Chains A and B, each alone.
Chain A
Amino acid sequence: MYNFEVERPTSVSNAVAALGRDEAQPLSGGQTLIPTLKARLAAPSVLVSLTGIEDMKGVRMEGDKLCIGGATTHATVMREAEAHYPGLASLAARIGDPAVRNRGTIGGSLANNDPSACYPAGALGSGATIVTNNREIAADDYFMGMFETALEEDEIVTEVKFPVPDAARYEKFIQPASRFPLVAAFVARFSDGVRVAITGASENGVFRWTEAEEALNGNFGADAVKGLSVSADGMIGDLHGSSAYRAHLVGVMTQRAVASIA
């Protein structure tokens, strides 16, 4: 790992100011970024640690939305979101392993937008709003492709606001070595419609499976998606699974998620 300076601001405004320095990059829980730095895939001059900003931590209800601070760890979401949004708490409880969950944060996961990460599916599948120091971005406009988001250079994910569905389930086909999903489906059933988000499958990262949503809006049951399939074109293919295999898993994981909440 190349050397860098570390800044530890205690407010969002100081963090944004520090990000104005040359070659500065935000550091949240570091569970992806630190291994990335070790592999010399990134070489910032300054890392701006966000974990000392108390305003960016915590889980609370605001009206009918569940609001989670950007620097909130997966372990905290697992514990504190359970009473409000169990489907999301269950997703957080299955990220990585216990030690990773004690460091990794929701803001870090959403800012990185790994094509196989869990939180992008939870955010897109819930129709969440990503709140930054500058603006609010609907999840539908936020995920721009593999490792790409709508975030600007000096933008920090300060909070994520989740509408709470009547029921939701995240079904993850785990890749046991990395503990990332090989493919996972997040299905959320709201009174005004169903959302289905798929992670781990597409070369463009998380996506909504609109065909399944339409079928489930008509008839919410695993049978409704049984006959549907997604094309293997554009699906990730690697030594862990071919693109055809991943395309197949999209259907299987969605059916399992639907079956568990139907």
Chain B
Amino acid sequence: MAQVKMTVNGKAASGEVEGRTLLAHFLRDDLGLTGTHIGCDTSQCGACVVHVNGEAVKACSMLALEAEGAEVSTIEGQANADGSLNVIQQAFQDHHGLQCGFCTPGMVMSTAALLKDNPKPSEAEIRHYLDGNICRCTGYHNIVKAIMAASGQDTGQIAAE
């Protein structure tokens, strides 16, 4: 076992982990932050996307010990300070960008990373960026719509409508 320390959603976090402990397991099992979902566990599905030092990564494919000293953000840190949903979360709710909700934490975290680099992505850019986030319910259409809305863009012109 080894000691690991990091900052998670702005708060200091630490714990004793095995070498093989994945960041996703540390967040879920040690810190109780179960919003980071483990879907495929093979880095295909993106349900476990969190930000490490500002970059989207799949928490199921990174060791907890490799996040030593890092700033980690998870879905639990996304809401506004007063507890209300942030712009992306609200847009997912408003546009029905989720059904079962399992992929949603990863979708929201990937969206946050996309909009940080590209505040007004085109529909094609959104669909391309979400390559690594799989949703088995929605057919993606309303997710794309939610992201268009979250970035302040017209949602009326989306293909396949």
A interface vs B, CB < 8 Å? 1-6, 8, 27, 30-31, 34-35, 37-38, 47, 49, 51, 75, 96-100, 102-103, 177-179
Contact = CB atoms under 8 A, between A and B. Distances in A.
A71 to B, nearest CB: 12
Nearest to B132: A97
B107 to A, nearest CB: 12
Nearest to B60: A34
Given A3-B19, A97-B132, A102-B57, A35 B66 contact: no
Contacts of B131: 97-98, 179
Interface stretch (B7-15, B41-49, B92-100): B41-49
B71 interface: no
B36 interface: no
A38 B68 CA distance: 21
Nearest to A1: B20
A98 B20 contact: no
Point out which of B18, B42, B57 has the most chain A C-beta atoms below 10 A from its C-beta: B57
Contacts of A31: 43, 61
A99 B65 contact: no
B124 to A, nearest CB: 14
B55 A102 contact: yes
B115 interface: no
Q: How large is the interface on B (under 10, 10 to 19, 20 to 34, 35 or more residues)?
A: 20 to 34
16 contacts: A3-B20, A5-B19, A6-B2, A30-B63, A31-B43, A38-B41, A49-B63, A49-B66, A97-B131, A97-B132, A98-B113, A98-B132, A99-B46, A99-B56, A102-B56, A177-B44
Contact of A34 (B18, B56, B61, B129): B61
A4 B113 CA distance: 32
Given A3-B20, A98-B129, A35 B65 contact: no
A83 B6 CA distance: 35
Contacts of B110: 98-99
Contacts of B57: 99, 102-103
A38 B63 CA distance: 12
A8 B4 CA distance: 12
A31 B55 CA distance: 15
B87 interface: no
Interface in B13-29: 18-20, 22
B62 interface: yes
